[in-house]
Amino acid sequence: MLSFTGSRLDRADHVRADPERLAGYMNWKARLLALDGLMPAMDDEGGLAWGTLADASEDAELVFLGLDDGKACFAAVPAKGDASPRMANPQLWSLMATLRPDDLALYGGARSIVDWHARHRFCAQCGGDTRIAKGGWQRDCTACGASHFPRTDPVTIMLVEHEGRLMLGRGLGWPEGSFSALAGFVEPGESIEEGVAREVLEESGVKVRDVTYVASQPWPFPSQLMIGCHSFTDDDSLTIDETEMAEINWYTLDEVKASLAGNGPFRAPPPHAIAHHLMHWWIHK
Amino acid sequence: MLSFTGSRLDRADHVRADPERLAGYMNWKARLLALDGLMPAMDDEGGLAWGTLADASEDAELVFLGLDDGKACFAAVPAKGDASPRMANPQLWSLMATLRPDDLALYGGARSIVDWHARHRFCAQCGGDTRIAKGGWQRDCTACGASHFPRTDPVTIMLVEHEGRLMLGRGLGWPEGSFSALAGFVEPGESIEEGVAREVLEESGVKVRDVTYVASQPWPFPSQLMIGCHSFTDDDSLTIDETEMAEINWYTLDEVKASLAGNGPFRAPPPHAIAHHLMHWWIHK
């Protein structure tokens, strides 16, 4: 199972949309996810720590995350200037390795949504103040009335194969020796397959064919939907976009295998990244 | 090929990020997509009409759409209050049937991005004014400096199969007899497969298994990425969410076939919708 999937929460959409029902859940039995900025707090057993709604500041905006075995779970939107860290830092990477998968998924989803609220306190349409609505799955503008919805940004991440070898790249600023699959945001007006083809062409100069979908993963830094794909190319000559990539290389099956096992020619992406999963999928397909 | 895919434009990412290069393209040879609000204007042969940059108002924000056979193509962000219609109206549906596929794809992508600009003139983070950047693929806040990027909202749309029959639904407010695949936005913290399962469970009460990806399509009303999937269920008993769906029924292969041919028990979605494509895929798989 891919990291950040497999949350045990029932998102209970029918509760969000029903103010009375939602209010009924906002009682002393409700659980509040303990967060320090966007970092999770841990309980004594290394799981996510929870408090009650009384732990939230009085003016906190509360997001209804869903029901956990019938108990309502909430998270508070961080106070202004407190929504950090934005990116996955070393502490978060080590959390990914230690948190139970369903806790990690729950945290990831909660993190994405409270971070979205923290960055959308104003209306993009008129500049007015917005306020939380529908249990935290919407914000409404107090000035023009526009409704705004949480954002999820689709990103393609793709294997490119040529005669049994895999294209992997090292982005600008990445540590020496670290290689992963190329990736990029899907743009308005593109299918997933077109996004894959454009991204690979832009970064490597390579034209792909036969793009297929492999797997997907939510990635909460801040809120991507990673869409893992595979493709082939008939021409392995590279024209590297030096504004984005430091290096791009082709690796054999044995090299990818060895690198995943920790003794190959490159440092493979960590197990919690979908690129790691894609490489495993490739060596076993 | 799915509608709204297959644009002939080279998005030329390297031009967007290079102000000098971009300026070099903003000359008398550049083409400006003719738009009336968000509706396309047509030339004498039923193709998209184009003008020059001189046709844009002096304070218009221009989006660099890409290169068409070396010629730079732009679209102007509609003036305030002029970004309509928001939804696909009858005139647009008839355009989908008459425009050449690559023109339709080009128009769809242009429409999504200029509409995004029109609805994001202010910074969601601080309420300040934003201005166009990177050839129209970014907006920057003039007050706090935050960068904002065009939005693409992933939506799952799915076939659910039970013993050779297909689940199709009629949404609230849809015309009597019109049925299509269930659909819904992917939420933060979900994979595509989890989004499919949640959406089907919410709307129909049915638990799905073995979700697979079939195809994707950009849908520019305003800017969805439709992700078409297939799934199975072992239990066809329905619990319909009456706040979203008017009816949900199970249809046999022959009924779906006949309906796609125009003489079955329901009105099938039009050819330009991915649901139509999914049904064709299903009867031929």
Q: Does A35 fall in a domain?
A: yes
Residues B139 and B218 in one domain: no
pTM: 0.97
State the sign of the Cα–Cα–Cα–Cα dihedral B118, B123, B128, B134. negative
Helix (H, G, I), strand (E, B) or coil at A93: helix
Integer Cα distance of A19 and A122 in angstroms:
23
Q: To 5 degrees, how large is the angle CA A266–CA A270–CA A276?
A: 80
In a domain, A260, yes or no: yes
Q: Looking at residue B133, what is its pLDDT? A: 97
- The amino acid sitting at B172 is L
- The residue among B164, B154, B241, B253 whose CA lies nearest residue B200 is B241
Decide which of A129, A148, A167 is a domain's last residue: A148
- Tens of pLDDT, residues A52-63: 999 999 999 999
* pLDDT score recorded for residue B281: 98
Measure the CA–CA gap between B203 and B278, rounded to whole angstroms. 19
Neighbours of A49 (CB within 10 A): 15
**Could you tell me if residue B61 is inside a domain?**
yes
* Same-domain check for residues A71 and A194: no
Region A167-193: mean pLDDT is 98
Residues from chain B contacting residue A152 (CB–CB below 8 Å): 153-154, 185-188
Residue of B nearest to A129 (CA): B127
Contact B150 A188 (CB under 8 A): yes
B14 and A243 within 8 Å at the Cβ level: the answer is yes
Nearest CB neighbour to B5, from listed A7, A125, A194:
A194
| Per-residue pLDDT reduced to its tens digit, B63-94 | 999 999 999 999 999 988 777 887 888 888 88
CA dist., res. A190 & res. A198, Å (int): 9
B246 shares a domain with B187: yes
Please indicate, yes or no, whether residues B121 and B89 belong to a single structural domain of this protein.
Answer: yes
| Cis-peptide into B222, omega within 30 deg | yes
Band the pLDDT of B284: cuts 50, 70, 90. Answer: very high
* Count of A-B CB contacts under 8 Å: 163
CATH assignment of the domain containing A177: 3.90.79.10
With a pLDDT cut of 90, the percent of chain B lying above it is 92
CB contact under 8 A, B152 and A202: no
Q: Given this model, what pLDDT does residue A96 score?
A: 86
At residue A89 the predicted structure's pLDDT band, cuts being 50, 70 and 90, is: confident
- What pLDDT was estimated at residue B61? 97
Q: Using 50, 70 and 90 to split pLDDT, how confident is the model at A81? A: confident
Secondary element (H or E) of residue B103: helix B101-118
Range list of β-strands (E), chain A: 31-33, 35-36, 39-40, 50-51, 62-68, 71-76, 130-133, 138-141, 147-148, 153-162, 165-171, 182-185, 208-219, 224-233, 245-252
* Contact residues on chain A for B129, CB-CB shorter than 8 A: 127
Of B2, B112, B186, the CB nearest to A189: B112
Residue pLDDT, tens place only, A114-154:
999 999 999 999 999 999 999 999 999 999 999 999 999 99
pLDDT, mean of residues B9-24: 95
What is the distance in angstroms between the Cα of B166 and the nearest Cα belonging to chain A? 23
Residue B144 lies in a domain: yes
* CA B9/CA A1 separation, integer angstroms: 38
Q: Which two tokens stand for residue A44?
A: 């004594």
Q: Are residues B170 and B78 in the same domain?
A: no
Q: How many CA atoms lie within 13 A of B239 on its CB side?
A: 7
User: Which candidate, B50, B11, B5, places its Cα nearest to that of B32?
Assistant: B50
**b/e for A169-194, b at 16 or more Cβ within 10 A?**
bbbeeeeeebbbbbbbbbbbbbbbbb
In terms of domains, do A159 and A133 share one?
no
Q: Tell me which residue in B124, B154, B218 faces A190 most closely, judged by beta carbons.
A: B218
Mean pLDDT of chain A: 96
Q: Report yes or no: B203 and B240 within 8 Å, Cβ to Cβ.
A: yes
Assigned domain for A1 exists = no
- B231 by DSSP, 3-state: which? strand
Question: Most B CBs within 10 Å: which of A192, A199, A227, A272, as the mutation test of the B interface?
Answer: A192
Q: What is the pLDDT of residue B89?
A: 86
- Secondary structure (3-state) at A158: strand
pLDDT of residue A176 exceeding 90, the answer is yes
pLDDT at residue A86 in the model = 79
| B17/B141 same-domain check | yes
Q: Which structural domain range is residue B121 located in?
A: 13-148
CATH of the domain at A102: 3.90.79.20
Backbone angles phi, psi at A50, to 5 degrees: -130, 145
Longest dimension (CA), chain B: 63
| Segment A149-163 mean pLDDT | 98
- Poorest-confidence range of A234-248, B81-95, B263-277? B81-95
CA-based angle A263:A268:A272, to the nearest 5? 125
Q: What is the mean pLDDT of residues A251-275?
A: 97
The reply to whether A8 falls in a domain is no
Note whether residue A261 is domain-resident.
yes
Q: What is the DSSP letter of B60?
A: -
Residue at token pair 């030329």: B12
pLDDT-above-90 percentage for chain A = 92
Are residues A120 and A160 both part of a single domain?
no
Helix, strand, or coil here: A121?
coil
Tell me, yes or no, whether A138 and A183 share the same domain: no
User: Which of B148, B163, B191 is the C-terminal boundary of a domain?
Assistant: B148
Residues A185, A25: Cα–Cα separation, whole Å: 37
Same-domain status, A63 and A88: yes
Amino acid at B275: A
Q: Which residues pair with A71 in a beta bridge?
A: A68
pLDDT of the residue at B209: 98
Q: Express each pLDDT in B146-156 by its tens digit.
A: 999 999 999 99
Same domain, B137 and B19: yes
Shortest CB distance from B2 goes to which of A120, A126, A191? A191
What's the domain count of chain B?
2
Same domain, A175 and A213: yes
Whether A30 has a pLDDT exceeding 80, the answer reads: yes
Which tokens hold the place of B66?
Answer: 């890409």
Q: Closest CB to A213: pick one of B151, B189, B213.
A: B213
Each residue's pLDDT tens digit, B101-137: 999 999 999 999 999 999 999 999 999 999 999 999 9
Q: Smallest CA–CA separation between A202 and chain B, in Å? A: 7
| Closest to A136 measured CA to CA, from A33, A225, A214 | A33
- Give the mean model confidence (pLDDT) for residues A59-71: 96
Residue B228 lies in a domain: yes
Give one DSSP letter per residue of B136-158, joined into a string: GTEEEETTT--EE----EEEEEE
> Cβ separation of B112 and A13 shorter than 8 Å?
no
- For residue A166, the tally of other CB atoms under 10 A from its CB is 22
Q: Which residue, A148, A168, A183, sits at the end of a domain?
A: A148
